[in-house]
Chains A and B, each alone.
Chain A
Amino acid sequence: MSVEATARSARPPLWRDLRVLRVAGQVVFVAVAVVFFMTLTSNLTDSLRRQGLDISLDFLRTRAGFGISEGISYSANDSFLRAFQVGVVNTLRVAGVGIVLATVLGVVMGVARLSPNWLVRKIAQVYVETIRNTPVLVQIIFWFFGVIFALPPIQEARTLGSVGILSNRIIALAWPRLEEGAGLWAIFVVAGVVAAAVAWSRLTRLGDRTGRDHHRVRWGLGVFTIVTLSGFLISGSPVRFDTPEVVRFQVEGGLQVSAGYAALLTGLVVYTGAFITEIVRGSILAVPKGQREAAEALGLNPFQQLRFVVLPQAMRIALPPITSQYLNLTKNSSLAIAIGFPDLMGVSRTIINQSGKATEMLLIVMATYLSMSLFISLVMNTINRRVALRGEGR
């Protein structure tokens, strides 16, 4: 009772009471922020009124009136919204393919960086040191103007045998194309996957019970191969390699990509790959040496040491920084604007020039990039939770 009384009497005056100060500080902060943002918005409405504009999203439904060189179906008569969607799809096309290719390149180079072979190690090192220390925009512009523009025009295009065609406007690669009977084959493929999965889980359980080698990889792959191959033959070989050809100033067939897409993708993959290389190398090195030695002492062969001891732990270390590289690649795809590839940012800039709706458009663009970033983070965090130690990586 007396203690409480002293506590109450010892209470500091209002202007020195921490609890009061905390609330007061936040109130002041909010007030300043509100005044600041109100000034900004009033400035904005003033400026817009002077230009005879207002804030609204109605313009999205009006006719775009400009062409876009590539992407999903679109014509100049479509709306601004449709044009924007074309840009979004183009960005996703670059980012999605880029993430996969950059990972492959990064892992290969990262392993090469640790190779016992001196030459291979040096090649990987030179790759990393040159690429990482040069601006990605310079690289993309170099690929576009320096490399792809230097290729011959379509009518004199260089052909790489039947594999592909290189020209300064379009690069085409031979690509498998499905033909009649593909539907039947697809059923076999699904059946193969199911059969392999059944064999896999059966063998795993058998192995767990008896402790004998289960060979589930061998059996699973075997079952899958037999089923899909026989299906392939039964349905009459429905896949044909489509080789591109030059037909009167046009490339026909194969997998075609535009010069802009090729340059952007190459630039992003090569650049991001260099960063992933270093992450892969760093995280393999970060696994304590004792882990590998212990695995060796247990009699695991080098492949098993990697597969069961080193890589699972390296994965855990590598995933968060690799996630941020994926985010960087996606954001860097906006550099398409410098080479005229109609990505999200590029199309939006054209829309701004056509409609004058800079504020609205840029807010939409930011929201779109933010949701892409959020989506990638979500996916990667889910994977991360799978590989993280229990109790870690909440």
Chain B
Amino acid sequence: MSGRPLLPEEVPLVLEDARPVELAPPRPPATLGEWIRGNLFSSPFNTVLTVVAGVVIALGGYGVLRWIFVSADWQVVKANLRVFMIGRFPLEETWRIWASAYLAVFLAGLSVGVTGIGVRRTAAGAARWLILGGLVVYALIFLLDGLRVWVSIAAGAALLGIGIAVGRAGGRSLRIPLAIGWIASFLLVILLLRGFGGVPPRLWGGFVLNLVVAVVGISLSFPAGVLLALGRRSSLPVIRFFSIGVIEIVRGVPLVTLLIFGQFVLPLLLPSGVRLAPILRALVMITIFAAAYVAEIVRGGLQGIHHGQYEAARALGLPATRMMLLIILPQALRNTIPAMIGQFISLFKDTSLIAVLGLNDLLDVSRNAPRLEFSGDVKEALLAAALLFWIVAYSMSRWSQRLERRLGVGER
């Protein structure tokens, strides 16, 4: 402070008899003892809870760990690993799946690099990844035989790293090529699996089938869902009622019923001579199902757009179509991204329902594999399947949470 006299508005306002406001000193980080007292033994009731929960965790944890590492027989998973992943896909054609996986991994790496989402920078985050990664490698060492698989996996990991590096270097300039790349990869993967004397869909199976069904389902249902949402908000009554009818009927019926409808009734509705493979029939129904849910999400996004945006667009003289495409939809869809990822996760989990139709997806395979030679090891097989589903769904949901924070949804 200089010796200059204070101007009237600079004189601190101090009420009579009041001390100047004192800020609390910054709290030192809690010591271990304080933390334990605060979180576990803050009151008598809390202490009782801690003891009870501790006993439950100790007993349950011991039982689970003992079962995983001592009693369980994971041979059923090891012996059937290939069937778990790709079902009855012919052995000599597996390069098609590897190539598709490489493509996806590379694009995923690029996306992570470009958006910067998914790269943890905290020590705790890194530690968590190390532990998880260690467990995965441990499991793989137990499960995998042969050098070739290891080389293939290492190549995938390397591609992921290259993707991240390229994405970081390219930065935001890569965003549009990346979007085009994802769309193109979708067609490319189908071509890879099916084209050039490829493998017919009835031989697709295992976890790959779940992934393909989920990706195709969400990609096809997205445009249909947007159209249905626009239809539901249309000012033309016929179109509005049609959209409401479709959305509400589909949402009020279980997916199983729709799938069985697809198996029994859909073939009757097609002109004679047109045949659809069971997987394609299931895909049609899954797409219709998902479209109704996507439509409701998009409708939510549309409702969140302030009417001033519509008015501004009209004031600029934009015709309705371009107003929607250029002004309204981009904002509305951006707000729905987290919900859309949630819908994708739920669709991905729902792909297990095609097992009800006898299609050889991961669930079906894991349910039937133990019957052949490992009778009684159903638990192990099913848990392995559950774990695979869980890994994909959980990492997507974590990624979406971070994306949500990044996009600042609900904060603008």
Residues on A lying within 8 angstroms of B by beta carbon are 22, 25-26, 29-30, 33, 39-40, 43-44, 46-48, 50, 115-120, 123, 129-130, 132-139, 141-142, 145-147, 149-150, 327, 331-335, 337-338, 345, 349, 352, 358-359, 362, 365-366, 369-370, 373-374
CB pairs A–B below 8 angstroms (23 shown): A25-B236, A33-B242, A47-B268, A115-B49, A117-B50, A119-B57, A120-B50, A120-B53, A133-B389, A134-B349, A134-B393, A135-B363, A137-B352, A138-B385, A141-B367, A145-B378, A149-B378, A327-B252, A331-B254, A365-B257, A369-B252, A369-B253, A374-B252
CB neighbours of A120 from chain B (8 A): 49-50, 53
In the bound assembly, the distance between CA atoms of A327 and B255 in angstroms comes to 13
**Are A358 and B236 also in contact (CB < 8 A) when A119-B49, A119-B57, A137-B353 are?**
no
In the bound assembly, the distance between CA atoms of A390 and B267 in angstroms comes to 51
For A129, A135, A150, A365, the residue with the greatest tally of chain B CB atoms inside 10 Å of its CB is A135
Assuming A44-B269, A135-B389, A369-B252, what are 20 further A-B pairs, CB within 8 angstroms?
A30-B238, A43-B269, A44-B265, A47-B269, A116-B42, A123-B53, A134-B389, A135-B349, A141-B363, A142-B379, A142-B383, A142-B386, A146-B378, A333-B254, A345-B254, A359-B264, A359-B265, A362-B257, A362-B264, A366-B261
CB neighbours of A374 from chain B (8 A): 252
CB neighbours of B42 from chain A (8 A): 116
In the bound assembly, the distance between CA atoms of A46 and B251 in angstroms comes to 30
**Are A133 and B57 also in contact (CB < 8 A) when A345-B256, A369-B254 are?**
no
In the bound assembly, the distance between CA atoms of A139 and B387 in angstroms comes to 11
CB distance from A160 to the nearest CB of B (A): 17
CB neighbours of A145 from chain B (8 A): 367, 378-379, 382
Question: Do residues B253 and A370 form an inter-chain contact, with CB atoms below 8 A?
Answer: yes
Question: Do residues B260 and A119 form an inter-chain contact, with CB atoms below 8 A?
Answer: no
User: B232-261 interface mask toward A, CB cutoff 8 Å, 1 = contact, 0 = none?
Assistant: 000111110010000001011111110011
Say which residue of B242, B256, B383, B393 sits within 8 Å of A29 (CB atoms).
B242
**Are A135 and B350 also in contact (CB < 8 A) when A117-B53, A119-B50, A362-B261 are?**
yes
User: B407 contacts the other chain (Cβ, under 8 Å)?
Assistant: no
In the bound assembly, the distance between CA atoms of A139 and B382 in angstroms comes to 9
Question: Do residues A116 and B353 form an inter-chain contact, with CB atoms below 8 A?
Answer: no
Question: Do residues A141 and B382 form an inter-chain contact, with CB atoms below 8 A?
Answer: yes
CB neighbours of B355 from chain A (8 A): 137, 338
Question: Do residues B256 and A133 form an inter-chain contact, with CB atoms below 8 A?
Answer: no
Chain B interface, DSSP helix/strand/loop, else mixed: helix
In the bound assembly, the distance between CA atoms of A46 and B271 in angstroms comes to 9
User: B114-141 interface mask toward A, CB cutoff 8 Å, 1 = contact, 0 = none?
Assistant: 0000000000000000000000000000
CB neighbours of A119 from chain B (8 A): 40, 49-50, 53-54, 57
6 nearest A-B pairs in the assembled complex, by CB-CB distance: A358-B264, A118-B39, A133-B393, A331-B254, A135-B349, A334-B254
Closest partner residue, chain B, to A115 (CB atom): B49
In the bound assembly, the distance between CA atoms of A369 and B251 in angstroms comes to 10
Question: Do residues B382 and A26 form an inter-chain contact, with CB atoms below 8 A?
Answer: no
Closest partner residue, chain A, to B385 (CB atom): A138
**Are A129 and B239 also in contact (CB < 8 A) when A138-B382, A370-B253 are?**
no
Question: Do residues A370 and B249 form an inter-chain contact, with CB atoms below 8 A?
Answer: yes
Say which residue of A43, A338, A345 sits within 8 Å of B268 (CB atoms).
A43
CB distance from B128 to the nearest CB of A (A): 13
Say which residue of A118, A335, A358, A359 sits within 8 Å of B256 (CB atoms).
A335
Closest partner residue, chain A, to B49 (CB atom): A117
CB distance from A191 to the nearest CB of B (A): 38
**Are A337 and B269 also in contact (CB < 8 A) when A118-B39, A137-B363 are?**
no
Question: Do residues A40 and B269 form an inter-chain contact, with CB atoms below 8 A?
Answer: yes
CB neighbours of A116 from chain B (8 A): 39, 42, 46
In the bound assembly, the distance between CA atoms of A144 and B400 in angstroms comes to 32
Question: Do residues B53 and A359 form an inter-chain contact, with CB atoms below 8 A?
Answer: no
CB neighbours of B363 from chain A (8 A): 135, 137-138, 141
User: B321 contacts the other chain (Cβ, under 8 Å)?
Assistant: no
In the bound assembly, the distance between CA atoms of A235 and B321 in angstroms comes to 76
**Are A47 and B272 also in contact (CB < 8 A) when A117-B40, A133-B393 are?**
yes
CB neighbours of A150 from chain B (8 A): 379
Closest partner residue, chain B, to A40 (CB atom): B269
In the bound assembly, the distance between CA atoms of A293 and B284 in angstroms comes to 53
For A115, A116, A359, A373, the residue with the greatest tally of chain B CB atoms inside 10 Å of its CB is A116
CB neighbours of B251 from chain A (8 A): 373
Closest partner residue, chain B, to A365 (CB atom): B257
User: B13 contacts the other chain (Cβ, under 8 Å)?
Assistant: no
CB distance from B342 to the nearest CB of A (A): 10
Question: Do residues B252 and A370 form an inter-chain contact, with CB atoms below 8 A?
Answer: yes
Question: Do residues A133 and B265 form an inter-chain contact, with CB atoms below 8 A?
Answer: no
User: B261-281 interface mask toward A, CB cutoff 8 Å, 1 = contact, 0 = none?
Assistant: 100110111111000000000
Question: Do residues B239 and A29 form an inter-chain contact, with CB atoms below 8 A?
Answer: yes
Closest partner residue, chain A, to B380 (CB atom): A146
User: B191 contacts the other chain (Cβ, under 8 Å)?
Assistant: no
User: B397 contacts the other chain (Cβ, under 8 Å)?
Assistant: yes
CB neighbours of B389 from chain A (8 A): 133-135, 138
User: B39-56 interface mask toward A, CB cutoff 8 Å, 1 = contact, 0 = none?
Assistant: 110100010011001101
CB neighbours of A46 from chain B (8 A): 272
CB neighbours of B257 from chain A (8 A): 334, 345, 362, 365-366, 369
Closest partner residue, chain B, to A25 (CB atom): B236
In the bound assembly, the distance between CA atoms of A349 and B39 in angstroms comes to 53
In the bound assembly, the distance between CA atoms of A390 and B364 in angstroms comes to 51
Closest partner residue, chain A, to B352 (CB atom): A135
User: B98 contacts the other chain (Cβ, under 8 Å)?
Assistant: no
In the bound assembly, the distance between CA atoms of A214 and B381 in angstroms comes to 60
In the bound assembly, the distance between CA atoms of A14 and B260 in angstroms comes to 48
User: B143 contacts the other chain (Cβ, under 8 Å)?
Assistant: no
CB neighbours of B49 from chain A (8 A): 115, 117, 119-120
CB neighbours of A118 from chain B (8 A): 39-40
CB distance from B34 to the nearest CB of A (A): 13
CB neighbours of A22 from chain B (8 A): 235-236
Question: Do residues A47 and B267 form an inter-chain contact, with CB atoms below 8 A?
Answer: yes
Question: Do residues A29 and B46 form an inter-chain contact, with CB atoms below 8 A?
Answer: no
User: B340 contacts the other chain (Cβ, under 8 Å)?
Assistant: no
In the bound assembly, the distance between CA atoms of A327 and B253 in angstroms comes to 10
In the bound assembly, the distance between CA atoms of A26 and B379 in angstroms comes to 56
User: B364-395 interface mask toward A, CB cutoff 8 Å, 1 = contact, 0 = none?
Assistant: 00010000000000110011011001100110
